Structure 1
Amino acid sequence: MKFSLFAIMNQQFGVCNLSLVPVRTEPSDRSEMSSQLLFGDHFTILETTDKWLHILIAHDDYEGWIDRKQFEEIEHAAFVALHDLHTILGLSLSHTITKTASNEKLNLIAGSNIPNALDRFFYLRDTKYKLEGDTIKPAKDKFRNGVADAAMFYLNAPYLWGGKSVFGIDCSGLTQMVFRQFGLKLKRDAYQQAEQGELVGFLQECKAGDLAFFDNDEGRIVHVGIMLDNEQIIHASGRVRIDSIDNQGIFSKESGRYTHKLRIIKRI
């Protein structure tokens, strides 16, 4: 991540200081939510209006619009520090932090970024917080053995377009948030994630954590799920669910039919 001195001096940066903030495709409350920011997610500000910010999210290079009341501006040094941060909240339903000055509480979700805490106290810019609980340091070497349990944390979470939490999540949000627990960065949308990793040639060669991608009749990748083994997949369709998969695609026992057509399998 390199910035020229001129670019830094003329650029603005921000961080999400709320538990979960909608990212919209257009600067309007009526525009669809395409993603979400978690507490501690940082971004570059591309454009501002009276009410909205056009942002580029550092974690996945995703663009969108957020309400100007739902962020805190930070300096470039703080942006870099957050970019290099490797401390997040683990797989619990909620995590509570408290603003020490006002005693206000925020309930955060799994995967939220927490600046390095000392005795469970940390700062986000000038605001001091106390964390009720522990953070984790994602470890890539734990991915293959831990990915199934991490994915199961979201089992039966309702489908929500653009969602990234156990309270509502979409297919690529599920894969992104599960991989985030192990320090593995995925892009935001399924077709973008399909461009990452290495191709797995045969379904029988799949390992837990491989990503299966599915296309529509026009050949566009529109869905993704996490392989649990070479016969089962966990994915978000209506809800986060486990279904059977074969070379043709995902077979739903509930509907008695194939619901998604398999395109490729990738290993990150």
Structure 2
Amino acid sequence: MKKIRSAWPALFVFYLASCAISNDNQTVNQLIENYRSTTAPDKRVALWDLSFENDSLKGETDRLTALDELISELNEQGIQFTDAVKRLPDSELEGKTKAVVTISVANIRSQPKHSAELATQALMGTPLTVLKGDGSWYMVQTPDQYISWVDQAGIQLMTEADLENWYQTPKVVFTPLTGHVWTGKDQKEMVSDLVAGDILTGLTSDGNWVKVQLPDGREGWVESEQLMQWEEWISSRETSVDNLISTAKSMLGVPYLWGGTSIKGVDCSGFTKTIFYLNGQVIPRDASQQINEGEEVDTEKNWENLQVGDLLFFGEKATDDRKERVVHVGMWIGNNEFIHSRGRVRISSFDPASPNYDEYELNRYLRTKRIVNQKSDGVLSVSEIIQPN
């Protein structure tokens, strides 16, 4: 009779190997999550899309220092793996990892298609970091670190050297709410529309007109009274009471636009962001990010503690089984009033006797933060991130 060999030893070895693989997967994926929570807790401003499967570290990230640290830790633990992570910016960009917005307002979307949700906007002359491409779309990061997608038709791709050369050209800033670049001083044909805060290169002056160049090389004419030299514009920016109120009220009636951050349309946080940008400060994109900046000045509806320029936040308070939700923001303008974008840019009041009394927002008030004249990591001057000479 033939001796039948037991399959148990082989099965046991396979079982041990499977356990080892499973343990490795759990260990590595937990490490990935640990790094994500410290390196990229907010996916709107940092990419850390990694996973570990079948002995392969996969995904993509722009947090390259953290990735190197993770790989070193895996090597120290003796974990064998294939490194299949895409580093961003993508090498396929061939060095064109920068871009400048070439239209008055670029719509930047959550996915690489025009039907996708509008995530944010960027004005002409805004420098962008390009992370990767997908057809005619590019994943970009704005100066406030927001990551989303823009159509190539609205940007000029550049290398680091190209961007530096563009910075060296003399810049002018368009100051009215809206306007145009014309092919000639007769104003018969338009090169581009313009909105407040657009940045162009100033070429020559001819009486009441200035010849300008757009970031993609197109040229045209703008009335000189509508432009300020970059240096003059920057030095005149100030988040004073008068400036903040004047800028905010100049936008009364502008329609609400989800994802909007320009005179063409604003959502609530896009409105507060625009107010501060036009007065020389760059603040985070979303209300849930803006609330993390500055100094807390009120949580109890003590309106006497508030100053013009303070940001009021609204939403749902935290409960035992639910985190706080910040869904709206406005700016205090004094006299128990605040200005905000809901349906349109409007003024609301917390005074029951006022025709602008806003019981709806009063009932979902969370707290007020002060960012004017406060040290805050997420609040920068325009000159720090847009640096033409």
TM-score by length of 2: 0.58
- Distance in 2 separating the partners of 1:13 and 1:186: 21
Matches within 5 A, 1:15-30: 15-30=100-115
- Distance in 2 separating the partners of 1:117 and 1:222: 44
Aligned residues: 255
In terms of mean alpha carbon deviation, does 177-186 or 106-115 score higher?
A: 106-115
Runs of at least 5 residues in structure 2 that lack an aligned partner in the other structure:
1-88, 318-322, 372-389
In terms of mean alpha carbon deviation, does 33-42 or 252-261 score higher?
A: 252-261
Aligned partner of 2:359 in structure 1 is: 257
Checking the alignment, whether the CA contact within 8 Å between 2:96 and 2:158 is kept in structure 1 is: no
Offset of residue 181 of structure 1: 1.3
1:57 matches 2:142: yes
Checking the alignment, whether the CA contact within 8 Å between 1:14 and 1:45 is kept in structure 2 is: yes
Checking the alignment, whether the CA contact within 8 Å between 1:82 and 1:115 is kept in structure 2 is: no
- Distance in 2 separating the partners of 1:143 and 1:117: 32
Q: Against the structure 1 CA distance between its residues 162 and 142, is the aligned structure 2 distance closer, same or farther, given a 3 Å change threshold?
A: closer
1:223-254 Cα offsets, whole Å, 9 max, x none, are 110110151000001111101137xxx99957
- Distance in 1 separating the partners of 2:217 and 2:255: 36
1:94 matches 2:178: yes
1:121 matches 2:211: yes
Q: Against the structure 1 CA distance between its residues 50 and 142, is the aligned structure 2 distance closer, same or farther, given a 3 Å change threshold?
A: closer
- Distance in 2 separating the partners of 1:69 and 1:126: 14
Offset of residue 264 of structure 1: 1.8
- Distance in 1 separating the partners of 2:237 and 2:137: 36
Q: Against the structure 1 CA distance between its residues 188 and 128, is the aligned structure 2 distance closer, same or farther, given a 3 Å change threshold?
A: same
- Distance in 2 separating the partners of 1:166 and 1:104: 19
1:197 matches 2:297: no
Rg: which structure is higher? 2
Q: For 1:173, which of 252, 270, 278 is the aligned residue?
A: 270
- Distance in 1 separating the partners of 2:357 and 2:334: 22
- Structure having greater relative contact order (Cα 8 Å, sep ≥ 6): 1
1:132 matches 2:234: no
- Distance in 1 separating the partners of 2:276 and 2:99: 24
Q: What is the aligned-residue RMSD (CA, Å)?
A: 3.0
Aligned partner of 1:12 in structure 2 is: 97
- Distance in 1 separating the partners of 2:202 and 2:370: 31
The DSSP-based 3-state class of the residue aligned with 1:159 is: coil
Runs of at least 5 residues in structure 1 that lack an aligned partner in the other structure:
1-6
In terms of mean alpha carbon deviation, does 169-178 or 106-115 score higher?
A: 106-115
Offset of residue 150 of structure 1: 0.6
Identity of paired residues, percent? Answer: 28
TM-score by length of 1: 0.82
Aligned partner of 2:79 in structure 1 is: none
Aligned partner of 1:4 in structure 2 is: none
Checking the alignment, whether the CA contact within 8 Å between 1:252 and 1:258 is kept in structure 2 is: no
